[in-house]
Structure 1
Amino acid sequence: MKVKIVETNLEKEHAFHVRTIVFVEEQNVSPEEELDQHDAEAIHFIGYEENQPIAASRLRLVDGYGKLERICVLKEYRGKSFGKQIIKSMEDVISEKGYTKVKLNAQTHAEEFYKRLGYQTVSGEFMDAGIPHVTMIKELD
């Protein structure tokens, strides 16, 4: 998969399309919650496989953290390390911007996935968009 920072309107449309499929259609998150006011200031990422958009995410720099958000991979492409690849790309950008701390709110079903990538759970379970989540952090080298 080729991961890149979104630079064009078409790439942004591709990222929003992947997010809509995963979060709105698959997980029943409302479109208003999924595509929110933070999209305007976020750094967006898009992942392509054979020129098809298959993964997306966004990054915000908040309170001294690089905050990973809206990480998603289309269902038929899961289990192939594409999520890991997009997270690595986001962590690289966080480091380039001089940050060493990363935070994310993980859906509880993905908590073990993030633990394998070095993230530690720092909260109890909470609901976001009707889905159970936990907050996780990581210190970058």
Structure 2
Amino acid sequence: MSVGVSCRVAVGADDVEACFRVRKEVFVVEQRVPEDVEYDAYDAGAVHVLAVRDDGLPLGAGRLLTGPAAAAKNGGDAEVGALGRLAVSKDARGLGIGAALVRTIEDAARARGLVAVDLHAQTHALGFYERLGYEVYGPEFQDAGIAHRAMRKTLG
């Protein structure tokens, strides 16, 4: 990852708001996902992660769902977390921030005793997740009008 950028589990309302700003920039503005689809009831109980530049500028975000929320996303397995809403600001892409966010989410999942992480990847991002050890399963599906595939990684 780029020097001068760090990833962490969001602490407090300011960090969570910074995560939401990155998500709005990437999903709502850039990809035209409706806001009422982007922000959902799962956000309140999620573990949010944030990538920030040393000067405090938020560059990336993601979330981990656990328990019943994750089970609702992954087919019913409460021991599997659900990674989602991974977003990196356009100007910060290609710097390793996305991979660092995924590792931070995986660490948070391990800390909570989860055995694997599932995600729903936009099809253009399949190679990114495959390089991080995720494997595709199930058919392609649409989410917010964007083609996705389900993926899973067993945590070691």
Instruction: Please tell me the TM-score bracket, short chain as reference.
Output: over 0.9
1:103 aligned partner: 118
Percent identical across equivalent pairs?
38
CA drift of 1:102 comes to: 0.8
Instruction: Please give the residue correspondences for 1:1-141 in structure 2 after superposition, counting only pairs within 5 Å.
Output: 1-50=5-54, 51-61=56-66, 62=70, 63-141=78-156
Rounded to whole Å, the distance in 1 between the matches of 2:16 and 2:153 is: 27
Rounded to whole Å, the distance in 2 between the matches of 1:87 and 1:19 is: 15
CA drift of 1:66 comes to: 1.2
Structure 1 segments unaligned to the other structure (5+ residues) = none
Listed one character per residue, the Cα deviations across residues 6-64 of structure 1 (whole Å, up to 9, x for unaligned) are 11111111110000000000000000000111101101111101221000011101232
Rounded to whole Å, the distance in 2 between the matches of 1:78 and 1:54 is: 9
Q: Which runs of 4+ in 1 moved over 6 A?
A: none
Rounded to whole Å, the distance in 2 between the matches of 1:113 and 1:102 is: 15
| Root mean square deviation, CA, Å | 0.8
Please identify, of 6-15 and 31-40, the stretch whose mean Cα deviation from structure 2 is larger: 6-15
Contact 2:79-2:113 within 8 A present in 1 as well: no
Structure 2 segments unaligned to the other structure (5+ residues) = 71-77
Contact 2:141-2:148 within 8 A present in 1 as well: yes
Rounded to whole Å, the distance in 2 between the matches of 1:83 and 1:96 is: 20
CA drift of 1:123 comes to: 1.4
TM-score normalised over the length of structure 2: 0.88
Rounded to whole Å, the distance in 2 between the matches of 1:140 and 1:46 is: 21
Rounded to whole Å, the distance in 2 between the matches of 1:140 and 1:64 is: 11
* SS at structure 2 position matched to 1:80: coil
